[in-house]
Structure 1
């Protein structure tokens, strides 16, 4: 019997059993490639510095000036820059080592601002001057951007930040002795214990003033909010899901997500979940069960924590591309990335859109609105009813305070670059975006000034004239009475003909005389 030999064919040249982004062998890893790339970038940076070519720190995304700007600079070089020492004007740097400002929020008392950057940095700044008080740096590489920040409803020293790595961090704000009344000229502080966003403990963690991972998921956390009673935390992710967590157990109580393949079997009127990235979220300040979300599926949805099926209201045609929604009482505003009619107001009680804000006094050279950030002006004294809204984007090149009642721009502030984040507290408005500039401005509407005459300073004419004498004396004669009447009539006519400015001067003089007396 002849013996048969079976040979195994060699498919090693045609089949790849392992897959890698860089087609590496089994002995190599992606970490080595990352370190090698980073090393090469540092070498290129050193070569540029040796050639006296001033460039910023190598960023992950770099935008070069357009050809039109370069042509204009070359044409006007002899006119503006030939004999000037400021050579860096010829180079337009759009990024810094901090990255874009993606989000910011004022503290409840307005003493400081917490700012989140695209480079993974979180900075706490002074609420009035904007100087840096401390900085949190992420230890992971490459760093992931921070997309939303919100403060705790119960504790002013705790805030939460959602990151692109899918983690919601809990930040403990240290006790620092500073106030907004005594404004420091230079106030830059730092703490070595705050130089990390996440730390790994191999035992029982002690008391530390840094950011700890509060909730972790695989999908990027793009938006976040805390309910009014701080019993729930709502997080919107990049995989179109919305999860409601319990603040004590940190476990998901409800998850709202629908697969794209199932949408074709669900009628459009019955779709009660997002099928796009949830990029905007806002919890109601008074109602602990209500929150609003916006996604890339061009819908604005209102949710109820008690409803486990889905949203309770859906408004279509809202092209939200960033955190540009806000709630106040029974109304909701949303900014869309549209050239015109980008700002809308919705009534949550009537479940319909109230109006589209078509601004009447905007300058004619604006190409479009393209709103990225939209917020109500947070002022307990002048804007409790939601009369003013603050918007910013990439079309107007400025931040505008709009009166929603008469659809007029009350005030506008020029912005260097695209505006991505806006926050406000009383008369102060802070904003930032793609440009490496942090802005704090003050807003005051002259319509809030009302003429109020001091009550104590009013001068009573009848006190200086007496019609009757003392009881011991006899009654005055008729001529004296007629004379006093004529004096009173002349004084009353003079008081009615005086201007308001003259009245204010007289009242101030009377008050000064009373103080001297």
Structure 2
């Protein structure tokens, strides 16, 4: 392992998320900024569907549209005058309505667990298509930061760019890419530090960047391996990689030293093989359980999902037979497992984590003569999933409770290779061959 420190200013563009924006992204940028100040309120931030309290805040200029009235912090109650040529009565009336609405919102506030699924989303709306300088190399991985401020993008030539998630503007280029480098196939933000980004590629190279400074702080390589999957456990102490050689390597997050390897079985010489022995073909997906830091799932070309406990010696604990995983096609939420298979039909499925039984097959929208062939699938929230691939050259958001198609993002004739979402679907990114990065939101 070798450590590299460098600071590249090439192509670096400063862009503040607190800057006033105009045009169609104005409300969204404002919503992101407002979310920082209002972490305890009951609204769904970043959405135009605001509770009455925040709708009133918007009318009196809290989000900075430049209108007349008080600009008021919704928790501190402080206000500053920005020019009130109108009668004071109008302002006083707005204040009273605001206070009443805030009290009403306080009465409706519930715990996060009880509020899941509270909003009913009916439509997927594309906000913008983002054109990037490396689009010709294709986009193979995307990842939102935990605070939803950044979107990291990995390209086919090894380039890594970080975008402002609200505007799509490139904030920094962490690596410019090179003709000798291969695709960045996986990336994750460190759960304990929102400015630490880890990437892995088909050339076996793992890189760790500080997105705030633009420095590459660590680079190392898994020799003779193509890394296709990477994830952190929920407490951030360990991360794991998997790929072509079928070994699953667990690293200490602080030192980036290997602490454990689940070695792939040798199917030619071993006589003690079981269904728990490991994958027989390359691994394309790896996902830690969001609540149980010791548990993770893997899937690949051998038509199986294996469930591992990193405390065990060598074998998987349980397995699901069937899903043919060829990309980031595994997700887990609320004790449900979502799989997106590279299969012509019935590719999107929901499984019960506890019993491992198939709960349902989620219908993926098709036109006549089309097939599904999904590369990626992900939960948006407790009711909506999104998946995409090469069959329709599109990604679709689907309410799996009622099988309603909420809308799709078509990439022309280009394959969808990457999907990510945060804030329960308030920010969605879809990308693939020839770039084709699209930003969308659920309404």
Q: TM-score range by the shorter chain?
A: 0.5 to 0.7
Q: 1:388 to 1:262 in 2, by over 3 A?
A: farther
Which residue does the alignment assign to 1:370?
373
Decide whether aligned partners of structure 1 residues 115 and 366 sit closer, same or farther in structure 2, where only a CA change above 3 A counts.
farther
Rounded Cα–Cα distance in structure 1 between residues aligned with 2:266 and 2:333? 32
Q: CA deviation at 1:439?
A: 0.8
Aligned length: 307
Q: Secondary structure at the match of 2:436?
A: coil
Q: Which residue of 1 aligns with 2:158?
A: 120
Return 5+ residue gaps in structure 2 as ranges: 1-132
Which of 257, 261, 264 is matched with 1:251 structurally? Answer: 257
| 8 Å Cα contact 2:134-2:155 kept in structure 1 | no
Counterpart Cα distance in 1 of 2:366 and 2:338: 23
- Greater RCO structure (CA 8 Å; 6+ sep): 2
User: Residue 355 of structure 1 corresponds to which residue in structure 2?
Assistant: 360
- Residue matched to 2:400: 404
Pick one of 130, 141, 166 that aligns with 2:168.
130
Distance 1:348 1:139, change over 3 A: closer
Q: Secondary structure at the match of 2:185?
A: strand
Judged with a 3 Å threshold, the aligned counterparts in structure 2 of structure 1 residues 441 and 303 are, in CA distance, closer, same or farther, namely same
The 2-side partners of 1:329 and 1:211 are apart by 35
Instruction: Give the TM-score normalised by structure 2.
Output: 0.65
Which of these residues, 421, 426, 434, is aligned with residue 424 of structure 1? Answer: 421
Specify whether residues 97 and 410 from structure 1 end up closer, same or farther in structure 2 by C-alpha distance, changes over 3 A only. Answer: closer
Partners of 1:272 and 1:214 lie apart in 2 by: 28
Decide which of 326, 338, 342 is 2:331's aligned counterpart.
Answer: 326
1:101 aligns with 2:139: yes
CA distance in 2, matches of 1:237, 1:399: 24
Query: 2:442 maps to which residue?
Result: 443
Q: Output the CA distance in 2 between the equivalents of 1:211 and 1:277.
A: 29
Deviation at 1:246, TM superposition (A): 1.9
SS in 1 for 2:435: coil
Deviation of the 1:389 alpha carbon: 0.5
**Is 1:156 matched with 2:194?**
yes
Q: Distance in 1 between matches of 2:314 and 2:134?
A: 45
Match of 1:86 in 2: none
SS at 1:262's partner residue? coil
Picking from 278, 284, 289, the partner of 2:289 is 284
Q: Equivalent residue for 1:302?
A: 307
What SS does structure 1 have at the residue aligned with 2:268? helix
In structure 1, C-alpha distance between the alignment counterparts of 2:249 and 2:404, rounded to whole Å: 38
Using the size of structure 1 for normalisation, the TM-score is 0.56
Instruction: Specify the alignment match of 2:149 in structure 1.
Output: 111
Which residue of 2 is the match for residue 242 of structure 1? 248
Matched, 1:345 2:350: yes
Alpha-carbon distance, 1:317 to partner? 1.5
Q: In the aligned structure 2, how far is the partner of 1:364 from the partner of 1:262?
A: 47
| Number of the residue aligned with 1:293 | 298
The answer to which structure has the higher helix fraction is 1
Structure 1 vs Structure 2 CA RMSD: 2.1
Larger strand proportion of the pair: 2
Q: Are the structure 2 counterparts of residues 251 and 403 from structure 1 closer, same or farther at C-alpha, using a change threshold of 3 Å?
A: same
For residues 171 and 327 of structure 1, the distance between their equivalents in structure 2, rounded to whole angstroms, comes to 27
Aligned 8 A contact 2:349 2:362 in 1: yes
**Cα 1:168–1:155 shift into 2, 3 Å:** same
Per-residue Cα deviation, 1:309-329 (whole angstroms, up to 9, x for no partner): 311111112111111111112
CA distance in 2, matches of 1:139, 1:115: 12
- Give, in whole Å, the separation in 2 of the partners of 1:243 and 1:249: 14
Aligned equivalent of 1:260: 267
The corresponding residue for 2:280 is 275
8 Å contact from structure 2 (residues 159, 178) kept in 1 = no
Counterpart-to-counterpart distance in 2, 1:369 and 1:284: 27
| Rounded Cα–Cα distance in structure 1 between residues aligned with 2:304 and 2:136 | 32
- Give CA-to-partner distance per residue, 1:432-469, whole Å, 9 cap, x none: 0003321111221xxxxxxxxxxxxxxxxxxxxxxxxx
Check if 1:433 corresponds to 2:403. no
In our comparison, the structure showing a higher alpha carbon Rg is 1
1:366 positional shift: 5.0
How far apart are residue 138 of structure 1 and its match?
5.5
Deviation at 1:330, TM superposition (A): 0.9
C-alpha deviation, 1:353, in angstroms: 2.0
Secondary structure (helix, strand or coil) at the match of 2:339 reads strand
